[in-house]
Structure 1
Amino acid sequence: MANTSGKKLWLTALIIFALLAIFFYTTYNGLVSKQENVTKTWNNVQSDYQRRLDLIPNLVNTVKASSDYEKETLTKLIEARSKAAGLNVTGSPTYDEFKKTEEANGEVAASANRVIAVIEKYPDLKTANSFIRLQDQLIGTERRIKFSRKDFNEAVMGYNKSVRSFPSSITASLFGFKTKEGFQADTGTDKSPEINFTK
């Protein structure tokens, strides 16, 4: 009788162990998958930022082609682009890297907007085919950045929900999965910095 009782105890322990193993296996893999999705969507944001940076020299050259332009405004844009290009962070950035990248890309957008404001003073430049084509490319790029940022925030939200929700939070805690930061509008604004042709 004691032998049967011992077997039942071992069988119960084995079933509990198997269920725990399955639980940790599935929740761990789920967290890894969501973490990889955050990394992938961040890389998409970086790719779209790079596309913006690649178009900036064309904007600068288009303005320089004008007989009269404000050199200081262009210089600031070139400097902002250089700084942002130097901070291109791929993979899974730390919060500090993420913040620096955002600030640098925000400065690129702000500087580009100052250049566009200058262009408003030059009707010939504003209606030139080269500028109109560039404007279309930049508008398309800004749309892509918006969607990429939205996808990134959704990926971060899904990942954070799994990290913080019970019972997957047990696995997250055991294996070192930590919550991540998403995009947030600056205080007093309702959207992220972007190149804007509607001013």
Structure 2
Amino acid sequence: MVLEYVALGAGGALILSTVYYYNKIVKLENRVDNAWAQIDVQLKKRADLVPNLQETVEGYMEHEREIMDNVSESRERMMNAQSQEEEVQAGNEMGEALKSLFAVAEDYPDLKASENFQQLQEELSSIENKIAYARQHYNDAIMTFNNAIETFPAVMFANIFGKTEKDQLEIETADKELPEVDFSDDNQ
């Protein structure tokens, strides 16, 4: 009789443990999905500003067609992305294209003075900050998820449920490089 109670207690403990770890892993995975959705929202907001920016810039920068085409193409790739990887890559390309656009805009004083251009530049800057924050939040959620499924005893249940480690978003190699600054008198 005692053996039956022990077996029943062990079976109940196993069932409760399974339910507990399954729910824990699902909650953490949902946090990861939500964190990605926040990045996605900001990437879409940035992409939605591009047509307004192009319209504002086109009148001033008629000779910079290649830059405008790069911005358009990167927006198109981002809007048509089929996976997170594609969306991240296209979003990075759009960020680089916008950096180029704003760098060239420095050569057009009338454009820089345009109130519409300044407003769009401020909005894009704000969105870039939100994207950076959302990426940080996403990576934090990934780390929490990975830590949970890689530690004992959750690792046993994660294997049973088919949950595997997720990859964090990586910084582009170009973004890791330090900018070169030259304070010599030769530049004046």
TM-score norm. by structure 1 comes to: 0.84
Deviation at residue 68 of structure 1 after TM alignment: 3.9
Percent identical residues: 28
Partner amino acid for 2:31?
N
Following the alignment from structure 2 to structure 1, what is the Cα–Cα distance between the partners of residues 119 and 87? 28
Q: For 1:85-137, what per-residue CA distance to the aligned partner results, in whole angstroms no more than 9, with x for missing partners? A: 100x5xxxxxxx33222211111111111111111001111011111111110
Gaps in structure 1 of 5+ consecutive residues: 1-6, 90-96, 192-199
**Alignment correspondent of 1:174:** 160
Instruction: Give the drift of 1:149.
Output: 0.6
Alignment partner of 1:130: what SS? Answer: helix
Q: Which amino acid aligns with 1:80?
A: S
Cα deviation for residue 67 of structure 1 reads: 6.4
User: Contact 1:63–1:69 at 8 Å: present in 2 too?
Assistant: no
SS at match of 2:167: coil
1:84, 1:105 within 8 Å by CA — same for their partners in 2?
Answer: yes
User: 1:25-52, CA deviations, whole angstroms, 9 ceiling, x for partnerless residues?
Assistant: 1011000010111111111111110001
C-alpha separation in 1, matches of 2:106 and 2:174: 27
Q: Distance in 2 between matches of 1:98 and 1:164?
A: 23
What is the RMSD computed on CA atoms of the aligned residues? Answer: 1.5
Aligned match of 1:62: 56
Counterpart position of 2:85? 99
Structure 2 residue runs without a partner (length 5+) = 178-188
SS for the counterpart of 1:124 is: helix
What's the secondary structure of 2:176's corresponding residue?
A: coil
Q: What's 1:23 paired with?
A: 17
Q: How does 1:12-161 map to 2 (within 5 A)?
A: 12-66=6-60, 68-87=62-81, 97-161=83-147
Residue 75 and residue 188 in structure 1: after superposition, are their counterparts in 2 closer, same or farther (change >3 A)? closer
CA deviation string 1:132-160 (max 9, x = no partner): 11111011101110111111111111111
Q: TM-score, normalised by structure 2?
A: 0.89
